[in-house]
């Protein structure tokens, strides 16, 4: 039997319950997998057979406290690579890499996949269309922006994921009380023009600076609307031959190249303006998309982004080459909502295209797969309307992310 001490080791950090396929694949590929999570998730269904060790820490530690925790663990556990499985852990992972001089993205490169201001500045410098925006620093510049850029506007936290914390500003005079309320936190926000349109996302895989996979999808309701007003979350694959899919493929490659990702997976969002039909870059993250998007991608293409991410990390660690597996040319979509019922019964949604039913407390969800994008679009539209009336519950959006 191989001595575990002779195998390279990846430390996974996740303060949320996710990333199980990553850990399983990394272990299957012959590396030690350590997991650092929070105390309350100690007994979550982690793939314990794939973990060499599991460590926990209290919630809401400062980055410096996490650094102390990891360097303490490193006294007895040689760490060769650090992977943050959730977006909210990316910054501390970058800090740890810098401090321990480990390979992977350091703090500045990570900002391009975490900080909405940093990614927009770099994208705009590279010629990628973005909605007009400004940092919240100099008030005279804010006044000029409000004067010259037609409203309404969105005030967005620079580092929150999804639509958490976004505020819509309808009139210029409405901004200043909000900034007063934010106080010293206001510089951690950006202000940008609200662009009415449809929201799309591309799930990408990059190896040595080349985008080797980019799957385009379209949301139903914009995630911001679902987060703030409730409703049904849905996404569906685009017809690969459509003009939207081709346009998204090009702008996605342009964004990832501009932001300088060497190797990894990405979840990138765009908006297609109702006014001029242009695709504008909204945001990206060097992680797997949430809300079961990885499952949707797997049912459509045959590859799971979590698994490919693990393969990339191990290939990089061992100095090996990575190759994308053969792709299945199918289409998939999902419908998910918070449910009034504790265990909602989705058995009446019986189309043969239903390939997975989500089993989660007070949630209803389906994943669909078909040979055509048109069939997926029809089913997602029909089922979303039914979900809204049969299951959908609404609760206030969180001010901060929760595990």
Q: What tens digit of pLDDT does each residue of 205-222 get?
A: 999 999 999 999 999 986
| Topology adopted by domain 132-193 | Dna Ligase; domain 1 (3.30.1490)
Which residues, in sequence order, are bridge partners of residue 368? 333, 354
Q: Using a cut of 0.75, tell me whether the model's pTM lies above it.
A: yes
Q: Are 375 and 337 in contact (CB under 8 A)?
A: no
Residue 1: per-residue pLDDT: 38
* pLDDT 10s digits, 77-114: 999 999 999 998 999 999 999 999 999 999 999 999 99
pLDDT at residue 24 greater than cutoff 80:
yes
Mean pLDDT for the stretch of residues 180-192: 96
pLDDT at residue 370 greater than cutoff 90:
yes
According to the CATH classification, is domain 4-111 in 3.40.50.2000? no
Q: Where do the domains of the chain lie?
A: 4-111, 132-193, 197-390
Query: Where do the DSSP E strands lie in 153-232?
Result: 153-157, 167-169, 189-193, 197-207, 210-219
Q: Are 230 and 336 in contact (CB under 8 A)?
A: no
Separation in Å, CA 310 to CA 67, 79, 177, 287, 306? 23, 16, 46, 11, 6
Q: Coil, strand or helix: which one is 21? A: helix
According to the CATH classification, is domain 197-390 in 3.40.190.10? no
């Amino acid at each position: 039997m191989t001595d575990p001490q002779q195998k390279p080791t990846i430390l996974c950090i996740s303060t949320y319950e996710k990333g199980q396929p990553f850990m399983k694949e990394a272990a299957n590929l012959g590396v030690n997998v350590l997991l650092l999570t929070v105390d309350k998730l100690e007994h979550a269904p982690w793939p314990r057979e794939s973990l060499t060790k599991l460590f926990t820490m209290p919630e809401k530690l400062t980055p410096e406290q996490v650094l102390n925790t990891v360097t303490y663990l490193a006294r007895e556990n040689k760490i060769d690579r650090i992977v943050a499985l959730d977006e909210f852990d990316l910054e501390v992972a970058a800090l740890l890499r810098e401090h321990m001089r480990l390979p992977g993205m350091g703090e500045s490169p990570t900002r391009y996949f975490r900080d909405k201001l940093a990614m927009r500045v770099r994208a705009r410098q590279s010629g990628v269309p973005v909605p007009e925006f400004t940092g919240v620093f100099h008030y005279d510049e804010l006044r000029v922006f409000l004067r010259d850029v037609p409203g309404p506007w969105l005030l967005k936290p620079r580092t929150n994921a999804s639509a958490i914390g976004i505020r819509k500003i309808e009139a210029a005079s409405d901004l200043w009380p909000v900034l007063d309320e934010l106080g010293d936190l206001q510089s951690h926000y950006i202000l940008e023009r609200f662009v009415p349109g449809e929201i799309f996302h591309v799930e990408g895989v990059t190896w040595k600076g080349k985008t080797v996979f980019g799957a385009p999808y379209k949301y139903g309701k914009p995630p911001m609307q679902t987060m703030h007003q409730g409703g049904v979350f849905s996404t569906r694959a685009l017809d690969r031959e459509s003009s939207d899919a081709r346009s998204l493929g090009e702008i996605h490659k342009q964004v990832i190249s501009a932001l300088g990702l060497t190797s990894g997976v990405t979840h990138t969002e765009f908006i297609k303006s109702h006014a001029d039909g242009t695709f504008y870059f909204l945001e990206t993250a060097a992680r797997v998309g949430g809300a079961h998007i990885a499952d949707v991608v797997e049912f459509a293409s045959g590859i799971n982004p979590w698994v490919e991410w693990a393969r990339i990390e191990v290939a990089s660690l061992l100095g090996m080459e990575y190759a994308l597996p053969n792709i299945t040319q199918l289409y998939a979509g999902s419908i998910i909502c918070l449910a009034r019922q504790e265990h909602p019964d989705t058995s009446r949604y019986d189309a043969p295209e239903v390939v997975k039913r989500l089993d989660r407390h007070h949630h209803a969800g389906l994943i669909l797969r078909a040979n055509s994008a048109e069939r997926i679009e029809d089913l997602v539209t029909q089922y979303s309307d039914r979900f809204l009336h049969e299951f959908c519950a609404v609760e206030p959006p969180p001010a901060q992310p929760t595990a």
